[in-house]
């Protein structure tokens, strides 16, 4: 029996690199999944790829920055499965790479809406369900960028700093109800998002960008989505029963070098 046998977990950004891999880990451990993404077709394909049927998974389309759509995915999960045991509040975007004076306000607003407002709204509607149940856990996807700074990435870094603050407040508010709230802070992970960041940083020089980013990591390589999924799985499991308000870096030692 898996450690998530018959537990219900919501994953937002479930069609993305970390989201999809983490959903697979939960599925392999017996979980029932509510998989949320802006791209419904893509998240439906994730369910097919995982070999899950309608008793184990539901695909839900939502723009996480729209309150009514967030409420709808939470309501649909409870209607389908009767409860929520874990929430992987994962949806996010990287924005662009430009100096502050050149950073488009439209991109700034988009990053804010998805990465901050979207995470806040997820908590706003999931936490009352967990508090009413008296059990459950949340993991927000922050980033090493939420604990440091880097020129040219003001939108993304601003949003991940804010997400760490939201995590800490939510953890304190939820603790008296037996609910745990933590965050995972990935570093340089081998996903589509990093391909875009590489292109934004060194346009048309993918190999050089990869080498440059990897050289900044003490372990000398990119992390894999599976390595993030392992930490998320731990934090949502009963093995982390006394862990809350923590920020877990998964970055090959980059932050503290």
The residues that are catalytic are: 156
Cβ-contact 146, 185 below 8 angstroms: yes
Q: How far is CA 17 from CA 75, 128, 195, 202, 228, in A?
A: 25, 29, 11, 22, 10
Cβ-contact 71, 10 below 8 angstroms: no
End-to-end CA distance of the chain: 40
Residue in the block written with tokens 């070098």: 257
H or E element: which one contains 38? none
Q: Determine whether 53 is exposed, middle or buried from the number of CB atoms within 10 Å of its CB (0-12, 13-18, 19+).
A: exposed
Strand partners, 239: none
Please count the other Cβ atoms lying within 10 Å of the Cβ belonging to residue 173: 14
């Amino acid at each position: 029996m898996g450690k998530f046998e018959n537990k219900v977990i919501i994953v937002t950004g479930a069609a993305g690199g970390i989201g999809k891999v983490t959903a697979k880990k939960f599925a392999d451990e017996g979980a029932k999944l509510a998989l949320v993404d802006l791209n419904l077709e893509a998240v439906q394909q994730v369910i097919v790829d995982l070999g899950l049927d309608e008793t184990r998974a539901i695909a839900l389309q939502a723009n996480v920055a729209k309150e009514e759509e967030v409420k709808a995915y939470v309501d649909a999960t409870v209607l389908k499965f009767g409860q929520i045991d874990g929430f992987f509040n994962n949806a996010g975007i990287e924005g662009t790479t430009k100096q502050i004076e050149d950073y488009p306000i439209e991109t700034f607003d988009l990053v804010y809406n998805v990465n901050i407002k979207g995470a806040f709204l997820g908590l706003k509607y999931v936490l009352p369900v967990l508090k009413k149940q008296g059990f459950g856990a949340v993991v927000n996807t922050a980033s090493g960028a939420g604990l440091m700074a880097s020129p040219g990435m003001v939108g993304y870094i601003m949003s991940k700093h804010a997400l760490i603050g939201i995590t800490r407040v939510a953890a304190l508010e939820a603790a008296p109800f037996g609910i745990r709230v933590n965050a995972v802070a990935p570093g340089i992970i081998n996903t589509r998002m990093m391909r875009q960041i590489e292109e934004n940083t060194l346009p048309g020089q993918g190999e050089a960008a990869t080498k440059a980013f990897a050289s900044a990591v003490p372990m000398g390589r990119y992390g894999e989505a599976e390595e993030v999924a392992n930490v998320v799985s731990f934090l949502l499991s009963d093995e982390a029963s006394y862990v809350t308000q923590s920020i877990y870096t998964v970055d090959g030692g980059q932050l503290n070098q």
